[in-house]
Amino acid sequence: MPLAPPRFVGDFGSIPVDGLRGQYGPYIADPGLVHAANTALGLEMPLLLTGDPGCGKSDFAWVAARALGHDRPLRCHVRSDTRARDLLYHYDALVRFGDAQHGDPVKKKRAEDPRHYIGLRPLGAALMTSGRRQVVLIDEIDKAPRDLPNDLLIELDEGRFEIPEVGDHDCSKPVFDRAQKTVALQREMERPAGIKKPLVVITSNAERQLPEPFLRRCVFFHIPPQPRSRLEEIACKRFPEQEPRLMESLTRVFAALRKHGQEVQFTKLPTTSEMLDWMGAATRLYNPDDVQDALDAFEDALERGGGRLPSGKQEVTWAELPGVSCLLKLKEDLEEVGLRAASAR
């Protein structure tokens, strides 16, 4: 018998296993994922999530935020040119230069203090804000420049960062961030004493290996491909108004298509997120009787084919699956099922 996960002690705003809601509706979380998230909360460490695209990594940040009393996480958008500073603060040198050159004496006076042109970004704001713990999402960090994870080590580890643009300016008169009204801007930004760090949820599609010093500072969890039973549970929770028989049929056919894709080596297998899009189309856009008739035909063919679609000329093919364009997103994969359909006829 497998061991039950150990129970947590102490009060650090833990996330429950059941009753979770993400950005788009109910979220069925692996108990190991919730356990890893609570470990990250308790240790005040970032939570690094990997898994196939569309498996729910990013959506878990919404789950955590709502479990901790927020509507949504603070989101950092990562691009190929993102620097660590871009996640912490923004300095508008162009506007400052314009004010300094302006004839208005008020604007000229304002331009003397660089802090008027600094605004905290999501990670910087969450590190400095007191009160209820925030959740910050750093999405797809593996798409950022290679140096970014290492450049965030001190900030994530110690909860402090530097704004060098402030320079040696006299900060005796406080200037507060425009969005975070209680956070005074200065060169050395230090988290208030006794304030716990936010939960930083970092996602990666594992397109490249992250640096070991960065990995050492994270709690890690890999979201595995979901078995059919879990997919069915997710589907029924996301579409509670639909007939259970229809959702079971949709799940079985999706699982069969994904298995077929593994056998023929689809370039891109359909994901859980795409499954939910497909189910949304099947239940809300198409005639439900037509969808059920098509699914019955597919299930009957799969049963007679031992889990595969038979190749006889009178049999259905994956190309005829209602809404297949929601599931297959690459020309090569659509051609694969289309060519088989053509050859079957």
117 with 139, same domain: the answer is yes
Over residues 54-84, the pLDDT tens digits come to 889 999 999 999 999 999 999 998 988 999 9
In the block, tokens 């008020």 appear at 106
- Above 60 in pLDDT, residue 221? yes
* Non-local CB neighbours of 213 within 8 Å, separated by 6+ positions: 150, 153
CB 252 within 8 A of CB 241: no
Over residues 118-176, the pLDDT tens digits come to 999 999 999 998 778 899 999 999 888 888 999 999 899 988 999 999 988 888 899 99
Residue 207: CA atoms inside 13 Å, Cβ hemisphere, count? 12
Domain carrying residue 196 = 31-223
Q: Which of 223, 247, 266 is the endpoint of a domain?
A: 223
Q: Supply the DSSP string of 175-218, one letter for each residue.
A: -B-SSSTT-B--SEEEPPTTPPPPEEEEEE--SSPPPHHHHHTS
**Phi and psi, residue 156, nearest 5°:** -75, -35
41 with 146, same domain: the answer is yes
Q: Which of 156, 189, 223 is the endpoint of a domain?
A: 223
68 with 215, same domain: the answer is yes
Residue 277: CA atoms inside 13 Å, Cβ hemisphere, count? 14
265 with 180, same domain: the answer is no
CATH number at residue 211: 3.40.50.300
Structure tokens at 101: 């050159």
Number of domains composing the chain = 2
Q: Which of 178, 199, 223 is the endpoint of a domain?
A: 223
Report the percent of the chain where pLDDT is more than 90.
Answer: 54
Q: Considering only CA atoms, which of 162, 159, 157, 153 is closest in space to residue 210?
A: 153
Q: Does residue 6 lie within any of the structural domains?
A: no
Q: Considering only CA atoms, which of 299, 296, 251 is closest in space to residue 278?
A: 251
Distance CA(155)–CA(216), nearest Å, equals 14
Q: Does residue 55 lie within any of the structural domains?
A: yes
Q: Output the pLDDT for position 341.
A: 47
- If phi over 0 gives left and psi between -120 and 50 gives alpha, with beta otherwise, what is residue 337? alpha
243 with 257, same domain: the answer is yes
